[in-house]
Chain A
Amino acid sequence: GAVVSQHPSRVICKSGTSVKIECRSLDFQATTMFWYRQFPKQSLMLMATSNEGSKATYEQGVEKDKFLINHASLTLSTLTVTSAHPEDSSFYICSARSGGLETQYFGPGTRLLVL
């Protein structure tokens, strides 16, 4: 099956610093990648959708200047949390979709803790 990786799996940073999370599709080309946020014991909330080579589309309420998304190639998307604060601590999950397929394949997630 399709494999999506995320790096790092866990990161702890100080308040005010920026953190970059990578999402890679390992065995297929992902024309679309999605970034989700999941708080403890809650469902996944879509943050943004990114298509290769174009700007990401952010969901209502998500600050695009705080959560920078770059989908530079068909196998890599990055999420940068800029000037992170403790309230940004969460589990961030990416998913990838190929072409016209309806199925999204999810990465293992990145747990961010901002001190």
Chain B
Amino acid sequence: AQSVTQLGSHVSVSEGALVLLRCNYSSSVPPYLFWYVQYPNQGLQLLLKYTSAATLVKGINGFEAEFKKSETSFHLTKPSAHMSDAAEYFCAVIEGGAQKLVFGQGTRLTINP
């Protein structure tokens, strides 16, 4: 069964600094990978997704992620953090043909002024 591990339940960066949120997956077949963002008391919003096309995926709000098969990773980055980026971020995986999303534990991103 596939799983997702997010390293670091809480990440804190200064405004303007690089954001790096880590995600590793385990899957026996090429996966579909997603990053979602959740603001307080809201549902999830799709940031970006990897579906076996380009390994570098660009998403909304200046975020991007790179699929690295050799490292089984799909880390999320943003060059310059903004205060509005403060939220909970979830990495998720779905195997081709399967229906279910499997979520990581989530990483809370805090932005310091």
| Residues in A lying within 8 Å of B, measured CB to CB | 4, 6, 32, 34, 42-44, 46, 49, 91, 93, 95, 97, 102-109, 111
Contact = CB atoms under 8 A, between A and B. Distances in A.
Contacts of A93: 43-44
B105 A107 contact: no
B11 interface: no
Contacts of A49: 99-100
Interface of B: 32, 34, 36, 41-46, 49, 51, 90, 94, 96, 99-101, 103-106
Contacts, number: 47
B32 A107 contact: no
Given A102-B49, A103-B49, A43 B43 contact: no
A97 B79 CA distance: 31
A67 B104 CA distance: 24
A93 B104 CA distance: 16
Contacts of A103: 34, 46, 49
Nearest to B51: A102
A109 B103 contact: no
B59 to A, nearest CB: 12
A109 B41 contact: yes
A25 B49 CA distance: 21
B43 A108 contact: yes
